[in-house]
Structure 1
């Protein structure tokens, strides 16, 4: 029965809105244990990962009597069909591709549930069939499951690379107690190419599929505190995520999939005008950006990143708005980042220097005081 069921699932998967599907055993991924422990010991993890390493490696620790894992991939667009209208003097930020369209977690959860429903319908007379669906917020390592299930190989950038869609895919999986025949894993095909490693602006990639995730710009755009000054110029005008290691990958050349309407980006949303973000309310942010995966940390990181993007663009029209942030924003980190930004945009403005010298006297947060001090020093040095 199960071989024929597998064939039916593969056939039905396209109708269910799944672009690629594979099957693997529920055997442990214990060959990754030393690597994960080493990465954690070196401080290369972000805290966004599932905290219990063994639960990431041993399916039987999170599911009773697992037999198989079904891995799925959905391809997402790499290009915007209609770019937003360009207005002279109006600077825009960018969300990385993985945050275009509706939050992919919801899309994947929908497809996984459709798949489970189909399997249950096909096995209506079977009892005690169990399923555990998950996306990247689950325990297992998506790329490891997908690689072993034959969907693609893990590149030097740590992403799954498929033949059809490159690395522009979302991944999800289902653990089940149905014993499906396993597909053949894919071996790495990067060869001597190191483009992703070479072009990574923070040297986050280690060259073997692993990374120091704390140095990844995608992670840095998602933190809630001050972004270390080292990373600020490197995000350019990106306000969420980073696509550089995907953009330079030869396997992604010409890959642009528009199969799912939910994933189509609204240009005005994923490339928003930056200045309005500085004063957007919580309600406005939720209404405008709440459906994006890039909104999951709330508006504060996006606003901080917008300030940094304006500084990187040397956007003088934003100065009154940044000074208003310093004057009125109740959050020290936003005030401090804005102080840094104005000192970058117009370092020889004596009125701004006077303003910063006045406002630093009202600050009580040590990190924020330091940001003001560095901004003031930068401006004083510019006059000398």
Structure 2
């Protein structure tokens, strides 16, 4: 089986497996992408989560020497949930980005790709196949764009005609010769809503992202978040959807047919205060299936502290004071001190004054001093 017949057969298998979109691309080097990545690196815009070897990222043959074709796939995920729980005074909630709703998409896409690979191998035993999902070396977006899945939007997401940008991407390298699909035309036009709406200005230009300033990146780091960005994070616990929710191509789109991605409202929009005291075991039980758990509980707890400051939640002061006094992690103590300064009041000041005399870590002491200055400024108003 060769050529178009093979392509038609693979497309039929993909539909049977539950893959929403499939496209086929040549395995030529991504030379234009490489130029952009070099510039990206020179400007200091990399997140550090990417594959560092630009040859692996842009040369498919460096990953699979026999590669002739790249098969790109996409699965749609929901953008809305039914009856989401609401925040209330003393019971405020955070939010996980839509890319962390339901089961971890890495596992779901990997299962789909494995099933497709098994079917291809049964039909063509000589087929060589290598699958990648997000953490692979190649750029999922560059592959998807070349394969005609969608165009690369100004928000750096792949935007499809049917599903908007609410899609997860994966790819499979193979030694099979399959006719490629044609890329589709850019559909963003003069629209710049994503760039204008980006909370931190991380979208520095059309299709150009300073990852280090992106909230989706900041919420995943384990270090202290720079003060300038904390108020921009709001109640986000993991990721950021702003550049997608404002996109006109996503208007009124939400797809619920992939049951693995159905959100549990209490998990994806959880109460904030319980997160502060959650043990490692409790965290794994609650969140281990979600993509947003991959960095562990510390970033989520740090982000929950920031969210409580965002809501000015006076009821959280005792919990924050306890973290400041006893938590062994400097990043958590540091963020708790900042949050107490933002929330304000005599109870917060009392906790900060106590910690001022007991804290040994310099970076935490500096944060305490800054928080006390913030309180003084509030008192003067």
TM-score, normalization: structure 2?
0.97
Matching residue of 1:276: 274
Cα shift at 1:38: 1.0
Question: What is the RMSD of the two structures over their aligned residues, measured on CA atoms?
Answer: 1.2
Q: Which moved more, 1:243-252 or 1:224-233?
A: 224-233
Deviation at 1:84, TM superposition (A): 2.7
Which of 347, 353, 356 is the aligned partner of 1:357?
Answer: 353
| TM-fit CA distance, 1:352 | 3.0
| Residue of 355, 371, 375 corresponding to 1:375 | 371
Farther-moved stretch of structure 1 (361-370 vs 35-44): 361-370
Q: Which residue of 2 aligns with 1:164?
A: 162
Deviations 1:258-306 (A, max 9, x none): 1111100000000000000000000000000111100000000000000
Cα distance in 2, alignment partners of residues 206 and 162 from structure 1: 23
Please give the per-residue CA displacement for 1:159-185, whole angstroms capped at 9, x wherever unaligned.
000000000000000000001100001
Aligned residue in 2 for 1:176: 174
Does the CA contact (< 8 Å) of 1:143 and 1:160 recur in 2? Answer: yes
Q: Where do 1:232-311 residues align within 5 Å?
A: 232-311=230-309
The answer for unaligned runs of 5 or more in structure 2 is: none
Aligned to 2:197: 199
Cα deviation digits, residues 110-163 of structure 1 (max 9, x gap): 00001101111222xx43x21110011000000100000000000001100000
Residues 1:312 and 2:318 aligned together? no
Secondary structure of 2:337's aligned partner? helix
Distance 1:266 1:203, change over 3 A: same
1:360 CA displacement? 2.3
Aligned equivalents of 2:226, 2:62: Cα separation in 1:
38
Output the CA distance in 2 between the equivalents of 1:360 and 1:174: 56
| Counterpart residue number, 2:218 | 220
Distance 2:253 2:318 in 1: 42
> Is contact 1:5–1:122 with CA below 8 Å preserved after alignment?
no
- Whole-Å separation in 2 of the counterparts to 1:274 and 1:86: 10
SS at match of 1:33: helix
Distance in structure 2 (CA, Å) of the matches to 1:14 and 1:88: 47
Instruction: Please tell me whether the aligned partners of residues 239 and 306 of structure 1 are also in contact (alpha carbons under 8 angstroms).
Output: yes
Instruction: Quote how far apart the aligned CAs of 1:88 are.
Output: 5.4
Match in the other structure for 2:148: 150
Q: Which residue of 1 aligns with 2:102?
A: 101
Superimposed CA distance per residue, residues 206-256 of structure 1 (whole angstroms, 9 cap, x where no aligned partner): 222121111110001001011111111111111110000000000001110
Name 1:186's counterpart in structure 2.
184
2:152/2:207 contact within 8 Å kept: yes
Deviations 1:3-31 (A, max 9, x none): 21110111121110100000011100011
Task: Report the secondary structure of 2:22's partner residue.
Answer: strand
SS in 2 for 1:287: helix
Structure 1, unpaired ranges of 5+: none
Q: Distance in 1 between matches of 2:348 and 2:70?
A: 59
Determine the C-alpha separation between the residues in 2 that align with 1:199 and 1:68. Answer: 37
Moved over 3 A (4+): 85-89
| Alignment correspondent of 1:231 | 229
For 1:264 and 1:99, how far apart are their aligned partners in 2?
10
